[in-house]
Amino acid sequence: LQGFVYASGTTMKPIFTAAKRALKKRVVYSEGEEERILRAAQIVVDEGIARPTLIGRPAVIAQRIEKFGLRLQEGLDYDVVNVEQDDRYRDFWQTYHRMTERKGVTESIAKIEMRRRLSLIGAMLVHKGDADGLICGTWGHNTMHLTYVDQVIGKRAGVTTFAAMNGLMLPNRQIFIVDTHVNYDPSAEQLAEITVMAAEEMRRFGIAPKAALLSHSNFGTSDQPSAVKMRQVLQLLQRNAPWLEVDGEMHGDVALDAAARGAIMPHSTLKDSANLLVMPNIDAANIAYNLLKTAAGGNIAIGPVLLGAAKPVHILTPSTTVRRIVNMTALTVADANAHR
């Protein structure tokens, strides 16, 4: 485990500590037959981070555990939700139908979906209290998984949008980027809300957020719509989150280089290097994250961290690593035990 923690920098240490001390540890993995999930489950069991619930076919899971040389034992180390036969199936599809009958989901569709959509099953387990948190997304696309999370678990009270935050452990710095996966072209109001949610999440990592609102424009050099939007975000944050250290709109290099920023904006309200980079749209956020992760970050990353959900749920990506699954399991357990 130490290798996982150190590879993720000091960022994950308080999260792992909280997870190991936690009482609520039942994490359901939607893709329970997947090799990376099984390898991560072995680590979280060995280290006492979580009690895995694997969604899949029990015989296939047991066969793959043996094939991969793992030591997990059903019932002792982990639980299984059998997608082919589960006593809760009727209750689950009926509950899902009641939730979505006015959103075009008929009884027959609810029955079919509750058999084949693994992230839907996982979300229902969390909704029913049979699991404390959900990890999904090692295959499929984010929108599909988020649809079921939204239908069954929904948003936190007072929150109007979901968002995704990714953390990068770069040489000599840690940075977080939003919104990498959810909102294609968020409004100024959405970006302000997303920035606050991301900053609050960073505080849980023990990191003081320093937010930069990024743009092709540097402090008013452009009046293109995206630049104007980022200036509006700053105004909203100054009014609604005066505790947050933030400035913009600015270039990416100016966000990370305090000297360069001081040369063009001596009275910037952002001091030192930014560690929360707020992008104007999903293209900028996703491209920047994946380029930095691969070119400079050694593929060591945290997330995606789903922001705004009513319960602990995180939607990963098909490129996720075992290390990232372990990290996100610890975060899910910490989320489940946090008093917000």
Pairing of strands 245-250, 301-307: unpaired
**What's the pTM value of the predicted model, to 2 decimals?**
0.92
CA distance 126 to 58: 20
For residue 114, pLDDT over 50 is answered with yes
Query: Which candidate, 52, 51, 131, 59, places its Cα nearest to that of 88?
Result: 131
Other Cβ atoms within 10 Å of 192 Cβ, number: 25
Q: How confident is the model at residue 185 (pLDDT cuts 50, 70, 90)?
A: very high
Q: Percentage of the chain surpassing pLDDT 90?
A: 87
Mean pLDDT of 282-291: 96
User: Cα dist. 108→15, 94, 326 in Å?
Assistant: 42, 10, 37
Q: What domains appear along the chain, each with residue ranges and CATH number? A: 2-154+309-337 (3.40.50.10950), 163-295 (3.40.50.10750)
Mean pLDDT of 231-257: 97
